[in-house]
Amino acid sequence: MHYEDARTARKVPTLAGGGSRRLDSESGENMSAQPQNLAELEKPILELEAQIQALEMDPAQAKEREKLQKKLDKLREELFGNLSDWQRCQLARHPKRPYALDYINRICDRFEEIHGDRRFADDAAIVGGFAWIDGNPIMLIGQEKGRDTKAKVLRNFGMSKPEGYRKALRLMHMAQKFKRPILCLIDTMGAYPGVEAEERGQAEAIARNLIEMAKLEVPVVAVVIGEGGSGGALALGVADRVLMMENAVYSVITPEGCASILWKDAAQAPKAAEALKLTAPRLKELGIIDGIVPEPLGGAHTDWDAAAVALKEAVAEAFGELNGLGAEELVEQRYQKFARMGSVG
């Protein structure tokens, strides 16, 4: 794979689970220092940005503004070059982070949305339809969380119900019929766990997607752009190439949920995040994902356009690697890819 790792590109060490190490006096175990909250991490950056903005209207302060900008760039390098797993998790959930529709509006020449599963309803947590990227037709399916309160309620905070996964599967079958490659943008904390979702067969809908995606005879690329939570993410994640944005997370459970089960304390989420190995660098090392899409320094929320350019380039490269492969070869390679996961030795 040739996807550029942003850590190497910027020559900034990214130490998953970073922070100083200490010896726990009671247990004798080597423990990580408590990771900083992301809001605390960003506070000095926001203060410097405010100072720079205040000087922009005064030409006489050009030198001072340049000095502060250099200080800001250095501070970003120091703070974001050594993020812990928990801090990356918070970045993946950042309220200003670009969502699926934000990327669709930036990477697509045209997007024609298709609604409904033709069985029950149209789930707005899943957006999908025919799209064109640099003139190339694809089927694009994404999970959308919603930007403001009204949109979040409409999109159910990105948590799909069975009809959402069945809509996605309908679009995948349509893509196969018209021989169009499929791009899935994954961003959900998990499938909706409500009673009505269970009544309509949530588990069956997710399982059906896993089975059918494994058999698709067209190229499939999936990108985790924010949160990739549990079966809700896997239902769109059986792909020939699975990529992750640099500060995205992909896991069987949230750190809070894991901490509540293992330690009966959600406050242990930072510890759980490190144990889950849910960040892009760690999952790349484990062979769960195929590549990392670099983000602007400080996270994708700092520059949506730059993040979209990086995503578009990575997607184009992934599809380029799959072009020319026959249906049987695609299915066999996809099977072997997932069969290798979890092997020991």
**103-106 contacts: CB < 8 A, separation 24 or more?**
103/142, 103/185, 103/225, 103/307, 103/308, 103/311, 104/131, 104/140, 104/142, 104/185, 106/304, 106/305, 106/308, 106/312
Count of CB atoms situated within 10 Å of the CB of 39: 9
What gap in Å lies between CA 168 and CA 213, rounded to an integer?
Answer: 10
Pick the range with the lowest mean pLDDT from 92-96, 181-185, 309-313: 92-96
Pick the range with the lowest mean pLDDT from 40-54, 106-120, 155-169: 40-54
Among the listed residues 58, 325, 334, 55, the one whose alpha carbon sits nearest the alpha carbon of residue 214: 334
Rounded to two decimals, the pTM is 0.84
pLDDT level of residue 345 (50, 70, 90 thresholds): low
Domains of the chain are 13-90 (no CATH), 95-339 (3.90.226.10)
123, 135, 340 from 144: Cα distances, Å: 10, 24, 30
Most distant pair of Cα atoms in the chain: their distance: 67
- Whether the CB-CB separation of 209 and 230 falls below 8 Å is answered with no
